[in-house]
Structure formats: structure tokens, C-alpha cells
């Protein structure tokens, strides 16, 4: 396949590119700056500009572009940046794919487009699959708008799958950096009640799932989460064990919700007990189903 990647310099994209090349695929990277190598091509998602000819001979696009979500105080301006960066990037690539499909209608095309498990909102301890509806709050609305922006590609006959990704366990990930520092200082502990579910996935399985989806006929939403979501209490105890640090101090909910707004309510003091139903039904086999194993790998590589 010839595959185009957006967000190729990010945590997932930077790992995905060499893996796909090792699989024998030709990979091009879409960049916002002036291209420096032959495999780079310029696009301008902020102004929704892209030359569709770049995608005419492309078989698949993996769309991972969007401003990073980092543990920081949230403002309305920051929320708007998160939303517009995702919607603009997805709309730009989808419209270019639709134009490429019109220019060469005989080529089957695939769009694997980023999304988040926050689509479901805070679901407490209720199990959710891809059949569940959109939840409430900014994070859920952002994910829905993000997915809706891919409509032009779908209307043009492109197979579109939405990567509803959970907490990626990887060395160097912003949340892992923050949690690692807090725990190493001996200040780690459950957050709020600790009963909220944190749906996680090892980086190796995030990459493996994308490779799998390129080769299957799955379309629509796909939960990229490990088969065994854990509560925050379980997550905390496991990370403490991996780092050999005690976890005695519970963290109150109020300051986190005050600082992180809907992200805090939905993804920190809240969560999703999400299952990867579509992935497993389509035949994907996870390489890492143990949270402790995933955390040990992340700490070792962090």
C-alpha cells in the first residue's frame, strides 16, 4: 500500500511510520512546514488547504493530526484550539480524499481517522461498546465533531474507521511523565473515589490495531482500548508497584475539575469502562493485556 500519515511526528505517528515501512508499505508524511525530504508533502489544515493530487495514488490515510491534550489548566481558548485543530485537519484530509476519489474512482481507499474514547462521556461503571451513543460534555462533543468532519470521505466511498483511543501507555507520554514524577515523590494515590474506569492501551497495541485496521474491512467507530479496563484505584496501585512507591494519599476531585474542566470530569475523576468489541470481533489479538506489563515497558522506555 501507499499510505499517507498526518501527525507523523507525534507519539503514535513517529512509531507508526517505521513499522509500516518495515511491513513493506510506502509511507508519505503530510507536514505543515516546507518539506525537507522526498517523502514529505505540504498541507495547511489550519486554512483547509491541500492539493488533492498528493492523494490520487494513495491507498490509505492515517489521520493522527490535532493539538496534544496535556495535563494543564484548561481555558476556553485551549478547548477551542483542541476542537478546531481536530476538525480542520480531518475536514481537510477528507475533502482532499474525496477529490482524489473523484479523479481516480477505481481505487479503493481507506481513512483511519483519530478520535477518542471520550466520545461516550463519563460512563461510570457501565460497560460501553461501539454501539453506545455519544455522551455529554465538551470532550464528547469534540469527539463527535471530529468524526463528523470525515463525512466528505465517507460520502465519496472511502472506507472510514474512527480510532476511539483510550489512555495510551507509552514512555514519554505527557500523562505518564506527570504521574511518574508524582509517584516518585511519594505523592501518588487514587483520584477521588478511585472507582472511575481508566480505559488504557499499550502503545504496541495502538500501533498493532492500526496495522490490523488497514488490512480488514472494518468501518465506523473502533474502540482502541485493552480488553480489561481498570479502575483508577487499580491503576494507581499497579503504577505504585511498578515504581516501587507507596500510594497512600488520595487526591481530591475538586481542584482537578476546577483546573481541567470537562477533561477532568470526563477522563480523570470520571472515565469509561470501554471494551474493544470491534477490534476483537474482527480478529485482532492483543499483545499486551496486562496493565502492569504495559506500565513496566513504558517506564523502561521513558
Which pLDDT band holds residue 230 (cuts at 50, 70, 90)?
A: very high
pLDDT > 70: what percent of the chain?
91
pLDDT digits (tens, 9 = 90+) for 37-47: 999 999 999 99
Which pLDDT band holds residue 202 (cuts at 50, 70, 90)?
A: very high
| Coil, helix or strand at residue 219 | coil
User: Checking DSSP bridges between strand 167-169 and strand 159-165, what pairing results, if any?
Assistant: unpaired
Task: Kindly report the CATH class assigned to 2-301.
Answer: alpha beta
* Domains of the chain, residue spans: 2-301
List helix spans (H) across the chain.
Answer: 11-22, 76-103, 138-148, 151-155, 174-184, 203-215, 232-243, 253-263, 277-281, 291-301
Average pLDDT, the chain: 91
Which pLDDT band holds residue 119 (cuts at 50, 70, 90)?
A: very high
Decide if pLDDT at 172 tops 80: no
pLDDT digits (tens, 9 = 90+) for 45-70: 999 999 999 999 999 999 999 998 87
Q: What is the pLDDT of residue 180?
A: 66
pTM over 0.95: no
For residues 103 and 100, give the distance between their C-alpha atoms in angstroms, rounded to a whole number.
5
For residues 197 and 87, give the distance between their C-alpha atoms in angstroms, rounded to a whole number.
27
Amino acid at each position: 500500500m501507499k499510505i499517507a500519515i498526518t501527525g507523523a511526528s507525534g507519539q503514535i505517528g513517529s512509531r507508526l511510520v517505521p513499522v509500516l515501512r518495515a511491513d513493506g508499505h510506502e509511507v508519505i508524511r503530510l507536514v505543515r512546514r516546507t518539506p525537507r525530504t522526498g517523502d514529505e508533502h505540504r498541507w495547511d489544515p489550519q486554512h483547509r488547504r491541500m492539493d488533492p493530487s498528493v492523494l490520487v495514488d494513495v491507498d490509505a490515510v492515517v489521520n493522527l493530526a490535532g493539538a496534544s491534550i496535556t495535563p494543564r489548566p484548561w481555558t476556553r481558548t485551549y478547548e477551542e484550539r483542541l476542537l478546531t485543530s481536530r476538525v480542520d485537519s480531518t475536514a481537510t484530509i477528507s475533502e482532499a480524499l474525496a477529490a482524489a476519489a473523484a479523479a481516480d474512482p477505481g481505487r479503493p481507499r481507506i481513512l483511519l481517522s483519530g478520535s477518542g474514547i471520550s466520545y461516550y462521556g463519563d460512563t461510570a461503571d457501565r460497560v460501553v461498546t461501539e454501539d453506545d451513543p455519544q455522551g455529554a460534555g465538551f470532550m464528547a462533543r469534540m469527539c463527535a465533531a471530529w468524526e463528523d468532519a470525515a463525512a466528505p470521505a465517507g460520502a465519496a466511498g472511502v472506507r472510514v474507521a474512527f480510532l476511539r483511543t483510550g489512555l495510551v501507555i507509552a514512555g514519554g507520554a505527557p500523562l505518564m511523565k506527570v504521574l511518574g514524577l508524582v509517584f516518585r515523590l511519594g505523592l501518588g494515590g487514587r483520584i477521588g473515589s478511585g472507582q472511575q474506569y481508566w480505559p488504557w492501551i499499550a502503545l504496541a497495541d495502538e500501533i498493532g490495531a492500526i496495522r490490523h485496521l488497514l488490512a480488514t474491512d472494518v468501518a465506523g467507530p473502533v474502540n482502541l482500548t485493552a480488553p480489561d479496563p481498570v479502575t483508577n484505584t487499580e491503576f494507581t496501585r499497579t503504577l505504585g508497584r511498578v515504581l516501587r512507591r507507596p500510594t497512600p494519599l488520595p487526591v481530591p476531585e475538586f481542584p482537578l475539575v476546577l483546573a481541567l474542566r470537562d477533561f477532568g470530569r470526563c477522563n480523570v475523576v470520571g472515565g469509561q469502562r470501554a471494551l474493544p468489541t470491534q477490534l476483537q470481533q474482527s480478529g485482532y489479538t492483543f499483545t499486551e493485556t496486562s496493565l502492569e506489563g504495559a506500565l513496566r515497558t513504558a517506564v523502561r522506555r521513558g
